[in-house]
Every structure is written in structure tokens, then in C-alpha cells.
Structure 1
Amino acid sequence: MLLPDQVGDRNRSGQYPVSITRSAIVQTLHAALEPNEAVFAVWLEGADAAERADECSDIDVWVDTDDGHEDDTIRAVEMALSNIGQIDFKHVRKGHPHPKIRQVFFHLAGTPSTSSLT
């Protein structure tokens, strides 16, 4: 488990650290979602799942949550991310072909422009 200053809490001047690592993002989301009883599973897809992730890869986080708790879970993800960095982009995909899949994209300031969280 990382200490708060290791995962990117704001410093005394209110600034975030210069570098936010993939590992810190994944660990932060794990810590935020693991105790949530409405969350059944959290896993990585995309380049991480294929073991091809590099410093410019996005992070495809999938969460299986109890029906009716999707909005709460998305808010928990957003709150966790905002604790380690400034969210400078958020996009909610509307009209996913599968009726039970919700997709939200986030980007944290100071991370590569190709790195987003989906």
C-alpha cells in the first residue's frame, strides 16, 4: 500500500506532484473500489491485459457493479482520481451498444496526452 504522498496527494501549496504513475493510478482505484460492497470485480483490459502497456498506453479499467450502483461507482472512481491529480478531461460515452455497459473517459493533467482512463 502506498502512503498518501506517494500516490499524489496535493502538497502544502495545493499542487499535485509532477509525475503520476500508472501503478499509482491502478493502486488508488483498487483502494477506492475494493471496500465497496456494490462492486463485484475490477480488472484491466487493453494493453495491460495483453501485457503490452507502455508509458503512453491508456488504462482500461472495467468494473462490474451491482445494478443501480453505476453512478455511485463512477463518482467513486472520479473522486479517487481527483485525489491524485487534476482531471482535465472527462467524457461520458452515450449509447453504448450493450445496454448494461457505461463508459467514462478521464485524463489526468501531467500524464501523457495518449494516456486516459476508460
Structure 2
Amino acid sequence: MFDLISISEAIKRSYDSEGLLVDVRSEEVFKKGHIPMAVNLPFEEIMNEKFDIEAIEKDFNIEKEQPVFLYCDTGSTSMLAAKKLDSVGIHAYSVVGGIMFYKGYLEKEKNDLWTMVRTS
């Protein structure tokens, strides 16, 4: 069974290399602004029948034992993704409230340059 985690705890544990922070929103939304340190693994990709966990582990340099902290906009999509990852043996956490509960800086892509913007 997947677990729930607060956004602050997920960021802290990710920063301390105790897991991987994963944004499950679409690539387009991810590029418009995401939490620093987060990688993008869209929900549609996770839910795809051809989802290849070994390829994901290799792409993001994670091991099956390493937890992943999933966030979306509100927390509902990340719960579904966490359930799916848990079913294939990944210890997944869903961030309660999603990025809406995050009050820090967001990285965003603009003209192929990464910049920092403040969320309100």
C-alpha cells in the first residue's frame, strides 16, 4: 500500500537523498513550473500498460528499494500513480494536496533556459 506524505517532508527527504521527487503532471505543465529537484514522469506514462519500471529506474538512476514522492496539482492523480507504482514493487508516496500546498520557488523553462519564479 502506498503512503501519504506532506510536501515539506517529501522535499526534505528528496534533498537528503532519501528518495526521488516526481512530478506526474504532463511534460507541458512541468515545463511551466515545477518544484526544484523534481523529475517529470507523466501520469499517462505510469498508467500505460507498457510501463517499463526497469527503464524508469535506469533513466532516473533509482533502485526499486528507493522511495518515490509523487505530486500533481491537488494530490488525487498522484494517489492513483502511487497505487500503480506500489503494485509493481516501488515504495511510492503521494504528496497530500499536491503542488497547491507548495509555497516555495518553482523552476520553469523559458527559451531553453531554466529560471526561478516565485509562486503566490
Could you tell me the TM-score, scaled by structure 1's length? 0.26
Could you tell me the TM-score, scaled by structure 2's length? 0.26
- Structure whose CA Rg is larger: 1
Which structure has more relative contact order (CA 8 Å, sep 6+)? It is 2
